Amino acid sequence: MSEADADSLSGSVSTQATPIGEFRAVSQSRWPNKDLEEWSFLERKPRKCSSLRYAPIAKPLEWKLRMSLDHEVPVSEVPNKKLDGLSTDGQEVELSVVMPCLNERETVGVCVRKAVAALREAGISGEVIVADNGSTDGSVEIAQAAGARVVTVDNKGYGNALKGGILASRGEYVLMADSDDSYDFSHAPRFVKQLRAGSDLVMGNRFQGGISDQAMPFLHRYIGNPVLSGIGRLFFGSPCGDFHCGIRGFRRDSFLRMDIRSTGMEFASEMVVKASLLRMKITEVPTTLHPDGRTRPPHLRTWRDGWRHLRFLLMYSPRWLFLYPGILLVLLGLVGCVLLLPGRRVFHGIGFDVHTLLYAFISVLLGFQLIAFATFTKVFAITEGLLPEDPRLHRVFRWVTLETGLIVGGLLMLLGVGGSIFAVSDWARGSFGALDTERTLRIVMPSVFSLTMGVQITFSSFFLSILGLRRRQ
């Protein structure tokens, strides 16, 4: 854009960041040209607009979802006078192609031109949005010259950039892809076809479509991606064979339902996880992966980002992180207690006595704590909107109440106190002399275990009730 063009637009459009998710009307001073559209997030009524492409968002956002102010994405529109080959003012936009960008001057122009050509050749009414995350190498100007609408996202992070671009999009459907020239935009019609057929999320599958030599590192191709995709299918029942494919299409309204919170590389994983948990329709189409066109190293870091993805999958699945390990520990501990509480056991010449019994009791205690953590995490995540409602949890809470926990905890504590009194009286019958260690420990350990478990159940019940206060309001 020339200086004259920039000067002519400076009085029409404010490039100041407009927070997405801020529930207040945009002041008139922010948009000095009254011909431009001013969106009131409170009334959600558009005013007269002479050019949709200069509005911060071309149609009202659906604020039915609660968006935490901690996850706002300030964005601002970069003025652009020409959108060659794309939808013009007043036209309905079916597909918005969104690309995150951070210093991609070598490839962003190529990607934009390919996306524009794909839309034109397929006859799809669309737009191309580049969500710039602070480029300093001229990427913005290159993207504009190629025909993209550039949205500047102030908050750093891959997820923030994509979220800002998606929220600024006008299309019914969104196709997101990296701006490194590694994905084939001519495959866009494949995604649109599935979206038109009713899919909420359409994932590309690079393993089905083909991965060119040198396009994906060995560890990513044969270890990282298959392992993480397998974990995603196991934890969340996702049908995706390529969990981390960078090109994917989705309905814009479905994206808003997902209420994605991640700001970094986990954004892509959270999208698949949320779609799976919300029982959205997910399909796959084959796509290809080529070596990217950059000469600089990629932003992705193998071990750091791999761990971040694994950590995210674990934190979004309390069942696999806490519940299943807890159940396993409880079962193993109970088996040990049942076998060793009556007396010493010998298996294949190896003796197991009170020392092993102690570990068995501790295993049950640890298992209970993990099960409690799973319950606490699930309730908290649902309350905060991180996970969808779980009907099974409601059925459990019909029986597991504060009063139930207090009764069970109180009975266990009484049992522990009774066992302790019996142990002391047994010692007294021997005139408080030398103890039969094995016999005494078989009385003391169950008593201490009952006391400890009773206290944990009692106070866990209170804590669970506190977590549920907000849900009952």
Pairwise CA distance, residues 216 & 231, whole Å: 20
Helix 225-236 vs helix 302-315: crossing angle, to nearest 10: 10
User: Looking at residue 299, what is its pLDDT?
Assistant: 66
Pairwise CA distance, residues 75 & 73, whole Å: 6
Residue 106, both tokens: 């070598």
Mention every residue, 6+ apart, whose C-beta is less than 8 A from residue 116.
Answer: 84, 85, 86, 128, 146, 147
* pLDDT at 468 exceeding the cut of 80: no
* pLDDT at 109 exceeding the cut of 50: yes
Host H or E run for residue 152:
strand 149-153
* Cβ pair 128, 49 in contact under 8 A: no
User: Looking at residue 308, what is its pLDDT?
Assistant: 86
User: Looking at residue 392, what is its pLDDT?
Assistant: 83
User: Looking at residue 38, what is its pLDDT?
Assistant: 31
Number of H helices, E strands in the chain: 18, 11
* pLDDT at 444 exceeding the cut of 90: yes
- Range with the poorest average pLDDT among 64-73, 98-107, 321-330: 64-73
* Cβ pair 313, 333 in contact under 8 A: no
User: Looking at residue 78, what is its pLDDT?
Assistant: 58
- Range with the poorest average pLDDT among 315-319, 397-401, 402-406: 397-401
User: Looking at residue 18, what is its pLDDT?
Assistant: 34
274 by DSSP, 3-state: which?
helix
Beta bridge partners of 96: 127, 174
Other Cβ atoms within 10 Å of 29 Cβ, number:
7
* pLDDT at 326 exceeding the cut of 60: yes
Average pLDDT value for residue range 427-454: 89
Cα 317–chain centre separation: 11
18 by DSSP, 3-state: which?
strand
**For residue 303, which amino acid is it?**
W
What are the φ/ψ torsions at residue 238 (nearest 5 degrees)?
A: -75, 140
* pLDDT at 369 exceeding the cut of 60: yes
* pLDDT at 339 exceeding the cut of 90: yes
* pLDDT at 44 exceeding the cut of 60: no
Average pLDDT value for residue range 58-82: 43
Q: For residue 11, what are the CA distances in angstroms to 29, 175, 304, 390?
A: 12, 32, 45, 52
Say if strands 95-101 and 126-132 run parallel, antiparallel, or are unpaired: parallel
- Percent of the chain with pLDDT strictly greater than 70: 80
Pairwise CA distance, residues 190 & 342, whole Å: 67
Other Cβ atoms within 10 Å of 47 Cβ, number:
14
- Range with the poorest average pLDDT among 7-16, 96-105, 241-250, 266-275: 7-16
Say which residue the tokens 């509480």 belong to. Answer: 341
- Range with the poorest average pLDDT among 21-35, 159-173, 388-402: 21-35
Pairwise CA distance, residues 177 & 42, whole Å: 32
Pairwise CA distance, residues 102 & 277, whole Å: 31
User: Per residue in 261-311, pLDDT tens?
Assistant: 988 888 999 999 999 999 999 999 999 999 988 887 776 777 888 888 899
Say if strands 18-20 and 73-77 run parallel, antiparallel, or are unpaired: antiparallel
Q: What is the dihedral of CA 406, 412, 418, 421, to 10 degrees?
A: -100
pLDDT band at 74 (very low <50, low <70, confident <90, very high): low
Host H or E run for residue 123:
none
* Cβ pair 382, 471 in contact under 8 A: yes
